A and B are shown apart, each in its own frame.
Chain A
Amino acid sequence: MVEALNSALHEEMGRDATVVVLGEDVGVDGGVFRVTDGLLDKFGPDRVLDTPLSESGFVGLAAGMALYGMRPVVELQFDGFVPPAFDQVFSHISRMRNRSQGRYGMPVVIRFPYGGGVRALEHHAESIETLFVHTPGLKVVVPSTPRDAKGLLSSAIRDPDPVIFTEPKRLYRAAREEVPDGPHTEPIGKARVVRQGDDLTLIGWGAMVPRMLRAAELVEGKGTSAEVIDLRTLKPYDEPTVRSSVERTGRAVVVQEAPRTLGFASEVSARISERLMASLEAPVVRLTGFDVPFPYYKMEAWAMPDVDRIIKAMRTVLTW
Chain B
Amino acid sequence: MIIDDYEPLKGRMFQVLDRDGKLVLDDPGLDAELLKDMYWWMLYARMADEKALKLQRQGRMGTYAPSRGQEAAQVGSALAMRKDDWAFPAFRELGMYLLRGVTLEHNLLYFMGDARGNLVPEGVHNLPIYVPVGTQIPQAVGTAHAMRLGRKDTVVVTYFGDGATSTGDFHEGLNLAGVLRAPVVFVCQNNQWAISVPRARQTASMTIAQKAVAYGFPGVQVDGNDVLAMYLATREAVERARSGGGPTLIEAYTYRMSMHTTADDPKRYRTETELQEWEARDPLRRFRAHLERRGIWTEEWQRELEARATAMVNEAIARAEAVAPQSPEDLFSHMYAEMPDELREQLGELKRALDEREVEDDAEQIQGGFP
Binding site for B on A (CB under 8 A): 20, 46, 51-52, 54, 56-70, 84, 87-88, 91-92, 97-105, 136-137, 139, 160-161, 189, 236-237, 239
Q: How far is the CA of A139 from the CA of B342 in the complex (A)?
A: 12
- Render B256-271 as a binary contact track against A, CB cut-off 8 A, 1 for contact: 0000000000000000
Residue of B nearest to A137 (CB): B335
Among A52, A70, A101, the residue within 8 A (CB) of B175 is A52
Supposing A57-B169, A61-B142, A88-B135 touch, asked if A101 and B119 sit within 8 A by C-beta, the answer is yes
**A65, A236, A237: residue with the most chain B Cβ atoms closer than 10 Å:** A65
Cβ of B5 under 8 Å from chain A: no
Q: How far is the CA of A137 from the CA of B333 in the complex (A)?
A: 11
Q: Which of chain B's residues have a CB closer than 8 A to the CB of A60?
A: 135, 137-139, 141-142, 169, 172-173
Q: How far is the CA of A31 from the CA of B179 in the complex (A)?
A: 20
The minimal Cβ–Cβ distance linking A80 to chain B, given in whole angstroms, is 17
Q: How far is the CA of A139 from the CA of B120 in the complex (A)?
A: 25
Q: How far is the CA of A255 from the CA of B222 in the complex (A)?
A: 59
Q: Is the CB of A57 within 8 A of B146?
A: no
Q: Is the CB of B135 within 8 A of A64?
A: no
Cβ of B128 under 8 Å from chain A: yes
The 10 sampled A-B contact pairs (Cβ below 8 Å) are: A20-B149, A56-B138, A57-B169, A57-B172, A60-B139, A60-B142, A63-B142, A87-B135, A97-B334, A103-B119
Q: Which of chain B's residues have a CB closer than 8 A to the CB of A61?
A: 138-139, 141-142, 145, 176
* Additional pairs, 9, CB under 8 Å, beyond known A97-B335, A100-B118, A236-B341: A60-B141, A61-B145, A62-B142, A87-B169, A97-B334, A98-B335, A100-B120, A236-B342, A239-B342
With an 8 Å Cβ cutoff, the count of chain B residues facing the other chain is 39
The minimal Cβ–Cβ distance linking A258 to chain B, given in whole angstroms, is 21
Cβ of B28 under 8 Å from chain A: no
Q: Is the CB of A70 within 8 A of B138?
A: no
The minimal Cβ–Cβ distance linking A156 to chain B, given in whole angstroms, is 13
The minimal Cβ–Cβ distance linking A40 to chain B, given in whole angstroms, is 15
Q: Is the CB of B169 within 8 A of A161?
A: no
The minimal Cβ–Cβ distance linking B100 to chain A, given in whole angstroms, is 15
Q: How far is the CA of A137 from the CA of B337 in the complex (A)?
A: 10
Q: Is the CB of A87 within 8 A of B132?
A: yes
Q: How far is the CA of A88 from the CA of B141 in the complex (A)?
A: 14
Binding site for A on B (CB under 8 A): 86, 115-116, 118-120, 127-128, 130, 132, 135, 137-147, 149-150, 168-169, 172-173, 175-176, 179, 333-337, 340-342
Q: How far is the CA of A298 from the CA of B143 in the complex (A)?
A: 45
Q: How far is the CA of A21 from the CA of B264 in the complex (A)?
A: 44
Among B130, B144, B179, B335, the residue within 8 A (CB) of A136 is B335
Q: Is the CB of B119 within 8 A of A100?
A: yes
The minimal Cβ–Cβ distance linking A27 to chain B, given in whole angstroms, is 13
Q: Which of chain B's residues have a CB closer than 8 A to the CB of A189?
A: 340
The minimal Cβ–Cβ distance linking A88 to chain B, given in whole angstroms, is 7
Q: Is the CB of A88 within 8 A of B145?
A: no
Supposing A51-B176, A58-B176, A101-B115 touch, asked if A67 and B138 sit within 8 A by C-beta, the answer is no
Q: Which of chain A's residues have a CB closer than 8 A to the CB of B130?
A: 92
Q: Is the CB of A84 within 8 A of B118?
A: no
**A70, A99, A139, A239: residue with the most chain B Cβ atoms closer than 10 Å:** A99
Q: How far is the CA of A46 from the CA of B172 in the complex (A)?
A: 20
Among A62, A64, A70, A98, the residue within 8 A (CB) of B334 is A98
Q: Which of chain A's residues have a CB closer than 8 A to the CB of B138?
A: 56-61, 63-64, 88
Q: Which of chain A's residues have a CB closer than 8 A to the CB of B118?
A: 99-101
Supposing A54-B176, A87-B132 touch, asked if A68 and B146 sit within 8 A by C-beta, the answer is yes
Q: Which of chain B's residues have a CB closer than 8 A to the CB of A64?
A: 138-146
Q: How far is the CA of A58 from the CA of B336 in the complex (A)?
A: 23
